[in-house]
Amino acid sequence: MNLSCPAASTGSRARTTCTARPPGPAPGKARVPSPTGTSRRTAEPAPGPAADFIADQVKKNPGKVPLFVLGPATDIALAVKTHPEIVPLVKEVIYMGGAFDTPGNVTPGAEFNRWFDPEAAKIVLRTPFKKQIIVPHDVALKVAYGRAQYDRVVTGAETPIKKMFKDVQRGQGTFVRDAIAAGVFLDRTLVKRSEERYIDPGMGPDYGRSLGYNLGESKAPGNPAGTRKATIVFEVDTKRFWDLYVDTMRNQ
């Protein structure tokens, strides 16, 4: 089972896994195009805080739930603080966030997801999860989206996803940070180059900055106190990533 955990503010309500329903959702329910585009699936808010929902799903499926963190890590931090028993039960954690060897996109040193809530990032990155993988701003700078990718997606018969894509994108160049993280989440073989480092979000003058300590220079027990190793993705197979991106968008 895969549990996607995008950014959610404290006290927000998480959403349940979508289940198949007849075309046309009931009032107040979200419409989500099915893979075939011929029917609709619906989802309703789950009761209670998102952190409780995350903990419940992990405990129901021990060792099977990866946490996919596309935004600030606020709810994951709340989940491990209020339900510490879930930590050894989480399969792995995959983050989109941080800027290690490049400037940030919010400040010269900070990427948005880390800058928004570095206290939460420090909590989760210092938590003894079995495995932590980070897809940072660094790799996004190497994967450019432009007109060529747009044309590949929108060619052919119109679908609800294609129409929405055309309305939003219009062929404008942009970064695809979240899509790269999703690609790595779905297919780990997309990764061409990665490094293990001891990770710590900066505080004080380095507020929100992602600090990565090289294992060769900071090998345990010489690593900064409290830090843990994580795998940082620095390069992906660009051609295979765009093939996955285009195929996914066109087949919805």
Q: What are phi and psi of 58, to 5 degrees?
A: -65, -45
Measured in whole angstroms, how far is the alpha carbon of residue 217 from the centre of its chain?
A: 29
Beta strands in 30-90 (DSSP E): 32-33, 40-42, 66-69
What is the reported pLDDT for 143? 94
Residue 146: closest CA among 242, 223, 232, 229:
242
Q: Do 4 and 75 touch, CB atoms closer than 8 A? A: no
Measured in whole angstroms, how far is the alpha carbon of residue 10 from the centre of its chain?
A: 18
User: CA-based Rg of the chain, rounded to a whole angstrom?
Assistant: 19
Burial of 221 (0-12, 13-18, 19+ CB in 10 A): exposed
Could you give the CA distance from residue 99 to residue 109 in angstroms, rounded to a whole number? 7
What is the reported pLDDT for 205? 83
Domain count, the chain: 1
What is the reported pLDDT for 4? 45
What is the pTM assigned to this prediction? 0.80
What is the CATH classification number for the domain harbouring 85? 3.90.245.10
Q: Do 113 and 7 touch, CB atoms closer than 8 A? A: yes
pLDDT tens digits for the chain (252 residues)?
444 444 443 344 343 333 333 333 343 444 444 444 445 567 788 889 999 999 999 999 999 999 999 999 999 999 999 999 999 999 999 999 999 999 999 999 999 999 999 999 999 999 999 999 999 999 999 998 999 999 999 988 888 888 888 888 877 788 999 999 999 999 999 999 999 999 999 888 888 899 999 887 777 778 888 999 999 999 999 999 999 999 998 887
- The residue range of the domain holding 39 is 3-250
What is the reported pLDDT for 6? 42
